[in-house]
Structure 1
Amino acid sequence: MTRRRLRFALAVTLLFFCVHLVLDADALAQGTAPPALGTVSLVAGADTLALDAGTLTLRAASPALGAAPPAPGAALLVAGTSPPALGAAPLSAGTDTLSEPGFPDGWWAPTIGPGKGHWDLRVGVHAWTDHIELRNLRLRGLIDLGPGLRALAVVRSNSDVAGITTVAPRIDELYLEKYGYYTRGAHRLSLSLRLGVLRYLRFPYPDIISTFDQVPGIADLQGTHPTGYGGLVATAEYEHASGLGAHFTAIKWGFGYPGRHDLIEGYGFYRTQLGPLDLELRAGILALRPEPLGKGAPGYNVYLGYRDPEWQAGVLYEKLQGQPVRTGVMVRFAFPHSGQSQPITGNPWRPDGHFHGSYLSVSIPAARFAEAAGRVALDYTRAPQGIAFEIPLAKGSFGMHGELPPPQGAQLVGEIHAERVTTYWQNGQSRNYYEHVTGQWGETGDPALDVVVVEGPWYLQLEALVSPNMLTPSQLREWERQRQGPAQLAQPVVYQFYRSVREPVAD
């Protein structure tokens, strides 16, 4: 028993050390030199700590989220000065007013520039009174290949549920994606075509009901059956500013996955806000939750929830043909940043064409906990029982300035806003990775522009649980015993585009 308690104490100590190290990186790294363009650095090392500290320093000197805009006549930001705070309204290129990120009219295929991208390396830890084990060592990343074209990958060290000593790389995700958006007035069409192996279906930016989607599990690691989706996955969504729309996701199976083709989702929807209440409805072909995933059935579901400036919560009711009634509960946290307060808003796209909803900012304890938990992917698991968390080992970028200022004299001419997400299964293992584009402003398509990436912290964005039982007092214990659902981590990101300005030549 003494040995078990010692292992448990060591696990808890390691966890809090990791949280402290990540949250206090700015204080630990004052005065260290930042890495050069394209260099790789250890997260726990002085270079990355200096980089993080520099970012925080820049943000501290920037206008806070929600702060008053600069006076008319303000010039474009110049390299070497502080960029806008993450989520703050940027200066429009060539103007003296503020603009909000949105979607441009017509077709838009986002790109940060061919050959530009990022990666990170993380390892999972699972601990309880009787064990401490490393697991799920994985490398994940993204590379831009051109307008609306990118490749994403998640590669784990082996196929073992626990342990990293065996070196036999296994692909969790590896695919090409061609995607884009067409916006005209109150209408938007979002299209995505993914070829390869993936474990995350949501596109475009998920509505509330999508947060209840079942996450592919670990049956493939246990030798039971394949999990995830392999082949050609096509997704299309039409949305009207009234809240009405339609969504389709189909798959042509391949890459060793059984089956020919399936319509996973094909439904109409309605999304709206009634004061502080959120209402979403779907009817049509909805995704089945029992594994193996990848099939749909006729049915409907309804979400009703309440939103506060600092949190969001609601319940789901779902009935599919041949399936028991399922109910769910979702709790979403605001994004902590700078000690300011910004209310949680609805869908990322609204009739005014502006982006809302990802770069949130509060200072309440719950949001600070969400940040601390998200930095190390903290989770409690029941099978096996224990505490799961992750240690970030290394990260890097290529073709970009990281979070360093661009060359002196460059002007900020545009931004692309995005949100990186990952979900983890009930046993606390994260095996997917995606980057949602949530808006842009200004000039972003010229490959000659310098790109600076400004990254917010990873944070615990939401917990969404679903059970094949009703949420009634008599079934509450059974509901909790059979509930499933993902926790979702998110990281807000802004890609800033700078153009070098040559000094005028003297006569």
Structure 2
Amino acid sequence: MKKILIIISIYVFININIYSKIWNPYIGAFNGHYDLSVGMHVWSDKLDFRNLQLRTTFDILPGFRFNSLIRTNKEFNEIETFEPVFDEIYLERYFFNKFNENRLAFSLKIGNIRYLRFPEPDIISQFDQVPGTEDLRYESAKTGYKGILLTIEYNTKYNIGIHSTYLDNFNIKKEDNFIEKYIYLKKYFKYINFESRYGYMQLRHPVGKIIRGPSPYQLGASGKGYNVYLGSEYKGYRAGIFYENLYDKKYKVNDIRTGILVQFADSKVTQALGSVRFDYTRNPEGFGITIPILHGNIGNIQKDIPKNSKLVGEIYAYRTITYWQNGQGRNFYEHRINYWGDVESKDLIVVMEEKPWYLKIESLVSPHTEIKTKEDIVDWERDRQGPAELRQEVIYKFYKK
């Protein structure tokens, strides 16, 4: 099975461009952007600078792009030492095929990756645990996903689909290299949202009274089970509850979690929080922020609309950064989700329109399942984990003279 998947992936990686129905997102050779920033952690008795990082991403060919995020060192709370390391560095081959309101999405990444969501986050994925900072604090810890990461999703017009994520990290022999392998159902009504998955999904870090193996517990293992989300939506705001039950085969236990999600609409307040990646952290306690230093375009992307030109097409995208409980964002991904018109001709001029970053969601997940008393609430909150997500909407506009 493993060899067959690798052979198919390599074949598709090289030859898929011959199919005209397939959309290979592309904004021009070596067009992209870069971003330089530094983090701060502030409390009454401390001021630490940390996580000085340079983010770079650019296209190479239609459906091929490069992404990297380099930090000054592997220290958790300082930037004085200069020993650069890559939090992320990978080449991605990806494409979409839409037909009769159905969609096939394909992504093959090779390198060091810290973000799984593809083709775009659904609501349940916003509860997913993301790689944290254990590798900055423990010598034996490893975070992220290194190797070949293959993600394939087929979504029908009824919002019933199949999703799989396969990781070959070359060094670690596992019985099953699938991090995710499940079927799903999504139903979105005017005010009510429902999502559910059944199959194999990624297990989370043990927290609270859960003890499984030595700490830290590396991400990448999967367990069979199901999860369900039910919530409401109004004018861009969402709130809902989450339940998950996965079987941990290694330790022969059911890992049951409950969660709460709050999603914010784009506003002046969420933009202010998103512009500095504001986050309250509990361990160590304080406020985490990230200060932008330098941001710019790479290649021939224009800032202004060229004179005597006509708009002939657009690509709609949004950028995502997720961070774990200590407020350090160590990943980045640009989801290109749709387009219209001519975005492929060689003589087109690309203009990029960037909207402000904003705080998109706060989601809490806890190993406690009963909330009957005040003590239950205290226990639930004490042992909860809290992934957060920042988002920036982007439009690539294609002009022709």
TM-score, with structure 2 as normaliser: 0.88
Distance in 2 (CA, whole Å) between partners of 1:498 and 1:275 is: 36
Q: What is the 5 A alignment of 1:191-202?
A: 191-202=106-117
- Return the offset for 1:448: 2.1
Q: What is the 5 A alignment of 1:27-176?
A: 106-176=21-91
* Residue 454 (structure 1) aligned with residue 385 (structure 2): no
Identical pairs, percent: 43
Distance in 2 (CA, whole Å) between partners of 1:399 and 1:216 is: 31
Q: Flag the 1:373–1:190 CA change in 2: closer, same or farther, 3 A.
A: same
1:428 corresponding residue in structure 2: 327
Distance in 2 (CA, whole Å) between partners of 1:447 and 1:262 is: 40
Distance in 2 (CA, whole Å) between partners of 1:402 and 1:480 is: 47
Letter in 1 for 2:153: E
Q: What is the 5 A alignment of 1:218-367?
A: 218-222=133-137, 223-254=139-170, 258-259=172-173, 262-290=177-205, 291-321=217-247, 322-335=253-266, 367=267
Question: Are the equivalent residues in 1 in contact too, given 2:129–2:387 (CA < 8 A)?
Answer: yes
- Return the offset for 1:258: 3.6
Unaligned runs of 5+ in 2: 1-19, 206-216, 248-252
Q: What is the 5 A alignment of 1:411-422?
A: 411-422=310-321
* Residue 488 (structure 1) aligned with residue 389 (structure 2): yes
Distance in 2 (CA, whole Å) between partners of 1:208 and 1:234 is: 21
**Rg larger for:** 1
Deviation digits for residues 303-330 of structure 1, max 9, x if unmatched?
A: 0000011411111000001233100111
Letter in 2 for 1:215: V
Distance in 1 (CA, whole Å) between partners of 2:74 and 2:198 is: 38
Question: Are the equivalent residues in 1 in contact too, given 2:302–2:349 (CA < 8 A)?
Answer: no
Distance in 2 (CA, whole Å) between partners of 1:318 and 1:472 is: 16
- Return the offset for 1:224: 3.4
Question: Are the equivalent residues in 1 in contact too, given 2:33–2:296 (CA < 8 A)?
Answer: yes
Unaligned runs of 5+ in 1: 1-104, 336-366, 501-507
Deviation digits for residues 48-85 of structure 1, max 9, x if unmatched?
A: xxxxxxxxxxxxxxxxxxxxxxxxxxxxxxxxxxxxxx
Distance in 2 (CA, whole Å) between partners of 1:368 and 1:499 is: 34
Question: Are the equivalent residues in 2 in contact too, given 1:114–1:447 (CA < 8 A)?
Answer: no
Letter in 2 for 1:483: R
- Return the offset for 1:288: 0.8
Deviation digits for residues 87-123 of structure 1, max 9, x if unmatched?
A: xxxxxxxxxxxxxxxxxx9311110011111010000
Secondary structure of 2:378's counterpart equals helix
Question: Are the equivalent residues in 2 in contact too, given 1:195–1:232 (CA < 8 A)?
Answer: yes
- Return the offset for 1:404: 2.2
Question: Are the equivalent residues in 2 in contact too, given 1:380–1:387 (CA < 8 A)?
Answer: yes
Q: By percentage of residues, which structure has more strand?
A: 2
- Return the offset for 1:368: 2.1
Q: Flag the 1:428–1:116 CA change in 2: closer, same or farther, 3 A.
A: same
* Residue 388 (structure 1) aligned with residue 288 (structure 2): yes
- Return the offset for 1:186: 2.5
Question: Are the equivalent residues in 1 in contact too, given 2:31–2:301 (CA < 8 A)?
Answer: no
1:369 corresponding residue in structure 2: 269
1:205 corresponding residue in structure 2: 120
1:8 corresponding residue in structure 2: none
Secondary structure of 1:217's counterpart equals coil
2:13 corresponding residue in structure 1: none
Distance in 1 (CA, whole Å) between partners of 2:347 and 2:298 is: 15
- Return the offset for 1:138: 0.1
Letter in 1 for 2:259: G
- Return the offset for 1:471: 5.4
2:365 to 451, 454, 466: 466
Distance in 2 (CA, whole Å) between partners of 1:445 and 1:323 is: 49
Distance in 2 (CA, whole Å) between partners of 1:153 and 1:258 is: 24
Higher relative contact order (CA 8 A, sep 6+): 1
Secondary structure of 1:369's counterpart equals helix
- Return the offset for 1:497: 0.7
Q: Flag the 1:497–1:275 CA change in 2: closer, same or farther, 3 A.
A: closer
2:131 corresponding residue in structure 1: 216
2:297 corresponding residue in structure 1: 397
- Return the offset for 1:402: 4.1
Question: Are the equivalent residues in 2 in contact too, given 1:402–1:454 (CA < 8 A)?
Answer: no
Question: Are the equivalent residues in 2 in contact too, given 1:215–1:485 (CA < 8 A)?
Answer: no
TM-score, with structure 1 as normaliser: 0.70
2:99 to 160, 184, 191: 184
Secondary structure of 1:196's counterpart equals strand
Secondary structure of 1:429's counterpart equals coil
Question: Are the equivalent residues in 2 in contact too, given 1:403–1:455 (CA < 8 A)?
Answer: no
Deviation digits for residues 319-345 of structure 1, max 9, x if unmatched?
A: 00123310011111112xxxxxxxxxx
Question: Are the equivalent residues in 2 in contact too, given 1:400–1:453 (CA < 8 A)?
Answer: no
Extract structure 1 runs of 4+ deviating beyond 2 A: 257-261, 400-406
Question: Are the equivalent residues in 2 in contact too, given 1:122–1:392 (CA < 8 A)?
Answer: yes
